[in-house]
Amino acid sequence: MIRCENIFKSFDETEVLKDISIVFESGKNNLIIGKSGAGKTVLLKILVGLLNPTSGKIWYDGHDFTSLNHKELQKLRNEVGMLFQGSALFDSMTVEENIRFPMDMFTKKTKKEKKNRVNYCLERVNLEGINDQFPSEISGGMQKRVGIARSIVMEPNYLFCDEPNSGLDPKTSIVIDELISNITYDDNITTIINTHDMNSVLEIGDNINLLHNGKLAWQGTKSEVLKSQSEELVDFIFASPFLKKLRGQAIDEL
Amino acid sequence: MIKPLLFHTGRYFVMLGSTLRKPSNFRMYWKETVRQMYDIGVGSVTIVVLISVFIGAVSAVQFSYQIGGTFIPKYYIGYIVRDMTIIELAPTFTGLVLAGKVGSNMASEIGGMRQKEHIDAMEVMGVNTASYLILPKIIAAVVIIPILVSIGAFVSIIGGYIASVPFGDLTNLDYIKGLRSFFVPFNVVMMLIKALVFAFILTSVSCYQGYYVEGGSIELGKASTNAVVISDVMILLADYIIVLMLTT
């Protein structure tokens, strides 16, 4: 479980996050949603420690993330996996080397153990046999899946996904959502997904947190989305007239 | 003017502080260091040799022209080419050329990694990115660049020979006599000190420019240009300071 309390973040005079307090539960897909510029990526970067909050606290299962020393932070970092928006695979390394990288850096496993773990992770994302290919030789969807494989190779307790569906076709997006969801439930990890993909919200959103102008505007589950009267949520999820009409029909059916 | 200067200087030293921390995995660092040594050494030896031949040749011809009609013995050409090359031209020219070739490449490589979130990905994994990405480059440079400078000095002396002896400016024996006259071994030490310092400057300054790049491709281009310009200025400044410290 990750808990953030009263997070504020400013860049010079611009206040990007205003008093954000959220509990991200373990074994669930915790979504951060919102329009572009709402502060989702900044919040995610603060949660993983890539940015420091102006004020506020972050707790990883009872450990105050903002006041850990170097050694404790290092230990905690090995329990964190992250899938980046652009996959962030290292171009000069093969798929296997990319996935193996955290193990090479931080573990003393044998070559065989590493190979087995890489193959297991590739199997979990349905990409067996592409070990020797370079990121430039595989599709965007495959790169995302390799990114997921790399993020789970160290058996993390916390998984962060920054817009995992961006740039993907709807079908591939569903595959990526399913993969992340399965990993979350099977491994009982705390997953935080930053997205503005409406399908993800309605399919895998166990806990949904809507950011609007840097503030937490709405919280709920996927089943509560349709019924919610929150102006910000309706405005975000059902932005187009067509979707608004569909929402009306769905509510009528309910 | 003062505020940005202080900001960048402070951040440069903070980056160096992170860079010089104990590596988390020596084997991974070693692998990266060897790769960098190969890139810097093999990738730059041709340009260093080419430039050095011409530096030696021009020095010989120029000096021959200057002493023409004077009582200065001809064999001084060899002596002057040797000392100019060792004391000044080989380390400085090599440093400036490598700042353009190696430095801009390092700034682009690290800056590209920053822009493609590779550095963020490593940070999340717990990698000390300043150390992992910069330390191997610095170590590789301070090992390889003095070797390149030594090769450059040797080739320059040969360049001076090629430009003067076959064209009848002086005899083979005179040139060798010049090379063997008034030799001060400390000059070689000074050349190696300069090479070490220049190697450190050009790698650390270039990596700094790439490591903190923000924005898109235009900013990356600017970072690469800044890496070369600032490294060149710092190399020339360091050259002056070293000369002052070691010769006065």
Q: Which residues of A touch B125 (CB under 8 A)?
A: 77-78, 80, 101-102, 105-106, 154
Q: Examine the pLDDT at A97 and tell me if it is beyond 90.
A: yes
Asked if B24 reaches chain A (Cβ–Cβ under 8 Å), the answer is: yes
DSSP assignment letter at A165: T
Nearest to A80 among B25, B124, B127 (CB): B124
Q: What are residue B90's DSSP bridge partners?
A: none
Report ipTM (2 d.p.).
Answer: 0.87
Q: What's the pLDDT at A82?
A: 93
pLDDT more than 90, % of chain A: 49
Q: What's the pLDDT at B247?
A: 87
Residue A48 lies in a domain: yes
* Per-residue tokens: B83: 């000392």
| Residue A201's pLDDT band (cuts 50, 70, 90) | confident
For B115, name the nearest residue in chain A, comparing CA atoms only. Answer: A88
**How many domains are contained in chain A?**
2
| Residues of B (100-129) whose Cβ lies below 8 Å from A | 116-118, 120-121, 123-127
Asked if B216 reaches chain A (Cβ–Cβ under 8 Å), the answer is: no
Kindly state the average pLDDT of the residues B210-225: 93
Q: Examine the pLDDT at A237 and tell me if it is beyond 90.
A: no
Domain that residue A197 falls in: 1-79+157-220
pLDDT 10s digits, A27-45: 999 999 988 888 999 999 9
Order of strands, sheet of A215-220, starting from the edge strand that comes earlier in the sequence: A80-83, A158-162, A190-195, A29-33, A207-212, A215-220
> Kind and range of the H or E element at A34?
none
CATH code assigned at A166 = 3.40.50.300
Residue A63 lies in a domain: yes
pLDDT 10s digits, B64-106: 888 887 888 888 989 999 999 999 999 999 999 999 999 999 9
| Residue A148's pLDDT band (cuts 50, 70, 90) | very high
3-state secondary structure of A16: strand
Q: Could you tell me if A183 and A189 are in contact, meaning their C-beta atoms sit under 8 angstroms apart?
A: yes
Residue A234 lies in a domain: no
Q: Examine the pLDDT at B34 and tell me if it is beyond 90.
A: yes
Asked if A80 reaches chain B (Cβ–Cβ under 8 Å), the answer is: yes
Asked if B25 reaches chain A (Cβ–Cβ under 8 Å), the answer is: yes
Residue A240 lies in a domain: no
**3-state SS record for chain B:** CHHHHHHHHHHHHHHHHHHCCCCCCHHHHHHHHHHHHHHHHHHHHHHHHHHHHHHHHHHHHHHHHHHCCCCCCCCHHHHHHHHHHHHHHHHHHHHHHHHHHHHHHHHHHHHHHHHCCHHHHHHHHCCCHHHHHHHHHHHHHHHHHHHHHHHHHHHHHHHHHHHHCCCCCCCHHHHHHHHHCCCCHHHHHHHHHHHHHHHHHHHHHHHHHHHCCCCCHHHHHHHHHHHHHHHHHHHHHHHHHHHHHHHC
Kindly state the average pLDDT of the residues A215-221: 90
Q: What's the pLDDT at B69?
A: 78
Domain boundary among A155, A180, A210: A155
Nearest to A105 among B117, B120, B125 (CB): B125
Asked if B147 reaches chain A (Cβ–Cβ under 8 Å), the answer is: no
Q: Tell whether A24 and A142 lie within a shared domain.
A: no
Q: Tell whether A3 and A71 lie within a shared domain.
A: yes
Q: Tell whether A37 and A98 lie within a shared domain.
A: no
Taking CA atoms, A115 is separated from A155, A161, A179, B232, in Å, by: 15, 25, 21, 45
Q: Which residues of B touch A50 (CB under 8 A)?
A: 120, 123-124
Residue, of A37 and A131, whose pLDDT is higher: A131
Q: Tell whether A166 and A208 lie within a shared domain.
A: yes
Q: Tell whether A147 and A97 lie within a shared domain.
A: yes
Residue, of B108 and A36, whose pLDDT is higher: B108
Q: Tell whether A74 and A161 lie within a shared domain.
A: yes
Residue A229 lies in a domain: no
Q: Tell whether A133 and A63 lie within a shared domain.
A: no
Q: Tell whether A60 and A17 lie within a shared domain.
A: yes
For A158, name the nearest residue in chain B, comparing CA atoms only. Answer: B124
Q: What's the pLDDT at B236?
A: 96
Residue A123 lies in a domain: yes
What's the mean per-residue pLDDT of chain A? Answer: 88
Size of interface A-B (CB pairs under 8 A): 52
Rounded distance between C-alpha atoms, residue A152 and residue A85, angstroms: 16
Nearest to B28 among A74, A81, A105 (CB): A105
DSSP assignment letter at A141: H
Q: Which of A135-144, B73-82, B231-240 has the highest average model confidence (pLDDT)?
A: B231-240
Q: Which residues of A touch B27 (CB under 8 A)?
A: 104
For A159, name the nearest residue in chain B, comparing CA atoms only. Answer: B124
Kindly state the average pLDDT of the residues B213-217: 89
Q: Could you tell me if A213 and A16 are in contact, meaning their C-beta atoms sit under 8 angstroms apart?
A: no
| Residue A254's pLDDT band (cuts 50, 70, 90) | low
Only one residue has tokens 């006599």, namely B177
Residue A107 lies in a domain: yes
Which of A45, A85, A105 should be substituted to probe chain B, the one whose Cβ sees the most B Cβ atoms within 10 Å?
A105
Domain boundary among A120, A155, A190: A155
Only one residue has tokens 């509510």, namely A251
Q: Which residues of A touch B129 (CB under 8 A)?
A: none
Domain boundary among A155, A177, A193: A155
Q: Tell whether A162 and A74 lie within a shared domain.
A: yes
Q: What's the pLDDT at A36?
A: 84
pLDDT 10s digits, B120-156: 999 999 899 999 999 999 999 999 999 999 999 999 9
Q: Tell whether A205 and A95 lie within a shared domain.
A: no
| Residues of B (26-45) whose Cβ lies below 8 Å from A | 27-28
Q: Pairing state of beta strands A207-212 and A29-33? A: parallel
* Per-residue tokens: A254: 């309910």
Q: Tell whether A136 and A173 lie within a shared domain.
A: no
Asked if B168 reaches chain A (Cβ–Cβ under 8 Å), the answer is: no
Q: Tell whether A72 and A27 lie within a shared domain.
A: yes
What's the mean per-residue pLDDT of chain B? Answer: 92
Residue A59 lies in a domain: yes
Q: Examine the pLDDT at B22 and tell me if it is beyond 90.
A: no
Q: Which residues of B touch A160 (CB under 8 A)?
A: 124
For A89, name the nearest residue in chain B, comparing CA atoms only. Answer: B118
Q: Exposed, middle or buried by CB within 10 Å (0-12, 13-18, 19+), for B213? A: buried
The residues near A243 (Cβ < 8 Å, ≥ 6 apart) are A198, A237
pLDDT 10s digits, A11-20: 988 899 999 9
Which amino acid makes up residue A220?
Answer: G
